[in-house]
Structure 1
Amino acid sequence: MRLKSSSWFPDPSLLIFLVKFCFHGVLSRPEDGEVRLIGGSTEYEGNVQIYHDHKWGSVCDDGWDIRDATVVCRQLGYTRSDFGTTNSRFGLGGRQIWLSNVQCWGYERNLTTCRSDGWGNSDCDTNEAAGVICKRPTNGRTSSVNTRTLTVPSQDSPNNRRIRFDRAYNNRTVSSILLHDRPRNATTGASTTSTTTTTVRPTPMLINDDIANFVLHNEAYLENDKRRHMQIRLAGGRDQKEGRVEVKFGSHDEWGVICGNGWSLKESDVICRQLGLGQASRAIQNVIFPGPTRAISLSGVTCTGQESHLMECFHKQVGVAECHGQRESIAGVMCNTQLPDLVVDMEFLVSSVYLQEQPMFYLTCAMEENCLSSTAYQLDPKAFSFPWTTRRLLRFTLATKNIGKADFLSFIPKHMWQWHACHKHYHSMEVFAHFDILDDRGTKVAEGHKASFCLEDNACDEPWQKKYNCANFGDQGISVGCFDIYKHDVDCQWIDLTDVKPGTYTFKVTVNPDTKVAEMRYDNNVVLCKLHYSTTTAYFDECKLAGRDTGIVRAG
Structure 2
Amino acid sequence: MRIARLAAVSAALALATCTPAERGVVVAPSGPQFDSHVQDLVGTPDMIVDAKTLATSWVVYDHEIREGSCSLQEANLTPGQYRLLRFTVVTPNVGDADIYIGDPNRHWDPNGDGDGSDSDGLFENNACHRHYHFRNYALYQLIDGSGKITKARKNGFCMIDVKPYNDGAPPKSWVYRACGRPARPELGLPEVPGNQGISVGYADEYYKWLAGQYFVLNDPNADPVPPGEYTLRIWVNPPFTAKRTEPCPAVDPQGFCHMFKESNYANNIGQVRITIPDHPGKTGFGPGAESNPPADDIVDDENRPDK
| Common topology (TM > 0.5) | yes
Q: How does 1:201-212 map to 2 (within 5 A)?
A: 208-212=7-11
TM-superposition CA deviations, 1:260-302 (whole Å, max 9, x none): x9356xxxxxxxxxxxxxxxxxx545899xxxxxxxxxxxxxx
- Give the match's secondary structure for 1:480: coil
CA distance in 1, matches of 2:24, 2:231: 44
Q: What amino acid sits opposite 1:392 in the alignment?
A: R
Partner of 1:435: 140
Q: Does 1:358 align with 2:83?
A: no
* Letter of the structure 1 residue corresponding to residue 9 of structure 2: D
Separation in 2, partners of 1:210, 1:262: 14
Q: Secondary structure at the match of 1:452?
A: coil
Cα distance, 1:530 vs structure 2: 0.4
| Structure 1 residues 207-253: Cα deviation after superposition (integer angstroms, max 9, x where no partner) | 921344467xx6xxxxxxxxxxxxxxxxxxxxxxxxxxxxxxxxxxx
State the partner residue of 2:265.
522
Q: Which has the larger share of helix?
A: 1
The answer as to 2:168 corresponding to 1:448 is no
Deviation at 1:392, TM superposition (A): 1.0
Pair 1:458 & 2:162 matched: yes
Give the secondary structure class of the aligned counterpart of 1:369.
helix
Residue 296 of structure 2 is matched in structure 1 by: none
Q: Deviation of residue 518 (structure 1)?
A: 0.7
Q: Is the 8 A contact 1:353 1:539 kept in 2?
A: yes
How far apart in 2 are the matches of 1:540 and 1:424?
33
2:87 aligned with 1:396: yes
State the distance in 1 between where 2:238 and 2:68 align: 26
Give me the whole-angstrom Cα distance separating, in 1, the residues matched to 2:106 and 2:52: 32
Give the SS at the match of 1:483. Answer: strand
Residue equivalent to 1:468:
176
Distance of 2:232 and 2:82 partners within structure 1? 19
Match status 1:368 vs 2:60: no
CA shift in 2, pair 1:392/1:214, >3 Å: closer
In the alignment, what sits opposite 2:30? none
Change (3 A) 1:540 1:358: closer
Q: d(CA) in 2 for partners of 1:287 and 1:443?
A: 35
Aligned-residue CA RMSD (Å): 3.4
CA contact (8 A) 2:60 2:276 kept: no
Q: Pick from 264, 286, 298: which aligns with 1:539?
A: 286
Question: Is the 2:160–2:177 contact (alpha carbons within 8 Å) kept by the matching residues of 1?
Answer: yes
Could you tell me which runs of 5 or more consecutive residues in structure 2 were left unpaired when the two chains were aligned: 26-40, 109-122, 180-191, 219-223, 240-257, 289-307
SS in structure 2 at match of 1:453: coil
In 1: Cα distance, 2:270 partner to 2:233 partner: 6
Shift of 1:390: 0.5
TM-score (normalizing by structure 2)? 0.59
> Contact 1:447/1:496 (CA < 8 Å) preserved in 2?
no
- CA offset at residue 350 of structure 1? 2.2
SS of corresponding position for 1:506: strand
Distance 1:539 1:214, change over 3 A: same
Q: Tell me how far apart the structure 2 counterparts of residues 485 and 508 of structure 1 sit (CA, whole Å).
A: 16
User: Equivalents in 2 of 1:520, 1:426: separation in Å?
Assistant: 27
Is 1:508 aligned to residue 233 of structure 2? yes
Q: 1:287 to 1:402 in 2, by over 3 A?
A: closer
Q: Give the Cα separation in 2 of the matches to 1:470 and 1:517.
A: 19
For residues 521 and 433 of structure 1, what CA distance do their matches in structure 2 show?
16
Q: Distance in 1 between matches of 2:209 and 2:127?
A: 16
Q: Is the 8 A contact 1:354 1:394 kept in 2?
A: yes
SS in 2 for 1:527: strand
Distance in 2, matches of 1:474 and 1:413, equals 7
State the alpha-carbon separation in 1 of the partners of residues 215 and 43 from structure 2: 35
Give me the whole-angstrom Cα distance separating, in 2, the residues matched to 1:538 and 1:405.
Answer: 39
Structure-1 separation of matches of 2:196 and 2:100: 7
Cα 1:210–1:350 change in 2 (3 A) is closer
CA contact (8 A) 2:154 2:214 kept: no
- State the 1:522 CA deviation: 1.0
Determine the structure 1 residue equivalent to 2:249. none
Mapping of 1:211-290 within 5 angstroms?
211-213=10-12, 262-263=17-18, 284-285=21-22
Match of 1:253 in 2: none
Whole-angstrom CA distance in 2 between matches of 1:473 and 1:340: 24
Aligned to 2:53: 348
Distance of 2:152 and 2:209 partners within structure 1: 17
Pick the structure with more strand per residue.
1
SS state of the match for residue 72, structure 2? Answer: helix
TM-score (norm. length: structure 1): 0.34
Correspondence for 1:479: 199
Please tell me whether Structure 1 or Structure 2 has the larger radius of gyration of its CA atoms: 1
1:183-214 residue CA offsets vs partner (Å, 9 max, x unmatched): xxxxxxxxxxxxxxxxxxxxxxxx92134446
Question: Would you say how many aligned residue pairs link Structure 1 and Structure 2?
Answer: 213
- Alpha-carbon distance, 1:451 to partner: 2.5
Amino acid at match of 1:349: L
The superposition leaves residues 31-81 of structure 1 with CA deviations (integer Å, 9 ceiling, x where unpaired) of xxxxxxxxxxxxxxxxxxxxxxxxxxxxxxxxxxxxxxxxxxxxxxxxxxx
Summarize the alignment of residues 103-118 of structure 1 with structure 2, pairs less than 5 Å apart.
none
Contact map agreement 1:487 1:493 (CA 8 A) in 2: yes
Cα offset for 1:495? Answer: 1.1
Matched letter for residue 347 of structure 1: K
Answer whether contact 1:350 1:539 (CA < 8 A) is retained.
no
